[in-house]
Amino acid sequence: MEERIIDLIGTDNYEKLTKQNILIIGLGGVGGYAFEALLRSGIRHMTIVDFDHFEKSNLNRQIYALQQTIGQKKCQVALQRATDINPEAQIKIIEEKWTAASITNELLKDYDYIIDACDDVSVKIALIKTCGTLKKKLISCMGTANRTHPELLTITSLDKTMNDPLAKKIRTTLKNTSLLKTKVVWSREVPKKQKKLGTICSVPMSAGSLLASFIINDIIKNNCK
């Protein structure tokens, strides 16, 4: 698996990827694709957090949601997938529902990078605050629902987001602080106004890929010009 990656980034950079320890909170439409992309890019040490089971409603956008995995625990399915892709991967699973109170310095201190792919605003804010205190590298995903244009997703800082109700709530809580410089994946697309949240696979899938690419390129110092 590693040959094609090494051809692109070199052996030294590939070795850097294999030594990182990454935490992913949430294995839904966004987090599942982030996990898959990191795994296939050579990341071997990851902790994945999700308390939920797969449901039929997940089939339209979640990479590990299949007819045969409905009713199964998301972390368990992802762990088996990881083993099938890379037997050398060392994946820790946490099948708990984290709350804002769960997020402590001790909980996050051992990770090199943290991906926030959850949909709980209070948890997102707690992650941003705690990572700010610890000087940990965090990237957080903003809203992907009610959007149909993955090409409008981008990586920016929280203070530059707009037209995103989720991001607005977080910005309001963190206003006048340096935490507004937290890196996020965000869409420039104005979400469609409707009573129920709707999703189409290409948007959360692309958001998850952007989360992974931010970490990979930061590790190998391959910054965009």
40 occurs within a structural domain: yes
135 occurs within a structural domain: yes
Q: E strands, the chain, where? A: 21-25, 45-49, 90-94, 113-116, 137-141, 153-157, 183-187
- The CATH number for 81's domain is 3.40.50.720
Distance CA 168, CA 194 (A): 18
The reported pLDDT for the residue numbered 125 is: 98
224 occurs within a structural domain: no
225 occurs within a structural domain: no
Q: Would you give per-residue pLDDT tens digits along the chain (225 residues)? A: 789 999 999 999 999 999 999 999 999 999 999 999 999 999 999 999 999 999 999 999 999 999 999 999 999 999 999 999 999 999 999 999 999 999 999 999 999 999 999 999 999 999 999 999 999 999 999 999 999 999 999 999 999 999 999 999 999 999 999 999 999 999 999 999 988 999 999 999 999 999 999 999 999 987 654
CA-based torsion, 167, 173, 177, 182: positive or negative: negative
137 occurs within a structural domain: yes
136 occurs within a structural domain: yes
Long-range contacts, stretch 71-78, CB < 8 angstroms, 24+ apart: 74/27, 74/28, 74/32, 74/50, 75/27, 75/48, 75/49, 75/50, 78/27, 78/32, 78/35, 78/48
Quick check: 4 and 176 in contact, CB under 8 A? no
Query: Which value, in Å, is the radius of gyration of the alpha carbons in the chain?
Result: 17
Distance CA 61, CA 75 (A): 16
Distance CA 84, CA 54 (A): 19
Distance CA 13, CA 9 (A): 6
139 occurs within a structural domain: yes
Distance CA 112, CA 3 (A): 24
Name which of 80, 192, 89, 94 is nearest 143 in CA terms.
192
159 occurs within a structural domain: yes
The reported pLDDT for the residue numbered 102 is: 94
How many domains does one find in the chain? 1
The reported pLDDT for the residue numbered 1 is: 72
State which residues form the domain around 83.
2-219
